[in-house]
Structure 1
């Protein structure tokens, strides 16, 4: 096998990633401008300079193009959580497992700002976004139960999973709106620190 042959799969993968990203960006931009009901797959494809047939090689429908993102793949997060040493406290282990996803989302801040704005404006998209997390959350519950040495029916693993998921989503929403230009990592750390501290009341205004 030549060096050219070995490089070809890498180039194909990059081309596929670029096409997928172009379709997602086009879908989000058009829906932000016109509204969810006034954008078609054909228009998204044309804006991304591909055919509708190509669109369906990447997404099953328009809504999927708006909500799905490789950064939301929970498998790497679960794998990193499972690989974190047992002596690391569980809350900290979950936070560390999110590092790569945080960096990936941060690198596409403007896209994510647009995505979250579109979802806020079109609440019908929210169930699709949430449903994609169900399998990940179940896997996290299982990994956390193993870390804690408790059975699958124990209440703490699903509680930790739900609380950390809410902390992460809250941090993302704060990061994606307003004028605060701090990186996503700062917002996530702030949210996790508040959870670790027991969600204390803020100090009274001076």
Structure 2
């Protein structure tokens, strides 16, 4: 990735994180595009170059990480499929540089606010779209890795759907668990349980 592309990715991540952080702190209805842009240090016009709405900006954090799973899976060396998937997933859900720039002061308040935000009816369409895009990319990566056919074989789609389900379930459990359970541990556990029932063809 060149410098220009890296800068664009950093701006996109900063806007997405700012949108989520402000929605958690204030409530989705109390956040304007101008607020998000200001928090990310850019103009509202720049925001509109990346996202069509604050909902799309919030969903983009999860989308980018899940698209990263597909990319990481393609880059993994030859190894058992579910080992490769687990490593690809856990790597993508490690520390977030955008979040590190604006740390969370109260983890329990953050979890409660994040639960409220992701349950917002206004966000559901954006979250579903993001999930569908990511799932299609993961399915393509699985098909490449297993020599299966995206049009003819169920397997890559089933695996991609299972990966997204595991990711979403682990994230939701992380937000509701008290005390919090590390996301990496939840993801590893969820994928191990699925792997035990979905052998590679």
Q: TM-score, structure 2 length as denominator?
A: 0.70
User: By how many angstroms is 1:145 displaced?
Assistant: 2.3
Q: Matches of 2:94 and 2:161 in 1, distance apart?
A: 22
Q: CA deviation at 1:166?
A: 0.4
Offset of 1:72 from its aligned partner? 2.2
- What secondary structure is seen at the aligned counterpart in 2 of 1:104? coil
Q: Is the 8 A contact 2:163 2:191 kept in 1?
A: yes
Map 1:115-194; keep pairs closer than 5 Å. 115-120=114-119, 122-152=120-150, 153-194=152-193
What is the match of residue 74 of structure 2? 82
SS at match of 2:95: helix
Structure possessing the higher radius of gyration over alpha carbons? 1
Residue 67 of structure 1: which of 59, 68, 78 is its match? 59
Q: Provide the aligned length of Structure 1 versus Structure 2.
A: 186
Contact 2:66-2:134 within 8 A present in 1 as well: yes
1:28-67 matched pairs, under 5 angstroms: 28-32=20-24, 35-45=27-37, 51-67=43-59
TM-score for the superposition, normalised by structure 1: 0.69
Q: Of 1, 7, 10, which aligns to 1:13?
A: 7
Unaligned runs of 5+ residues in structure 2 are none
**Do the aligned partners of residues 37 and 133 (structure 1) sit closer, same or farther apart at CA in structure 2, a change above 3 Å counting?**
same
Secondary structure in 2 matching 1:103? coil
Q: Kindly tell me: are residues 157 and 69 of structure 1, through their superposed partners in 2, closer, same or farther at Cα, counting changes over 3 Å?
A: same
Shift of 1:149: 2.7
Alpha carbons of 1:45 and 1:190: their partners in 2 closer, same or farther (altered >3 Å)? same
* Contact 1:26–1:48 under 8 Å retained in 2: yes
Return 5+ residue gaps in structure 1 as ranges.
1-8, 200-206
Q: Kindly tell me: are residues 187 and 75 of structure 1, through their superposed partners in 2, closer, same or farther at Cα, counting changes over 3 Å?
A: closer
CA RMSD of aligned residues (A): 3.6
The structure, 1 or 2, with the larger RCO (C-alpha pairs under 8 Å, 6+ apart) is 2
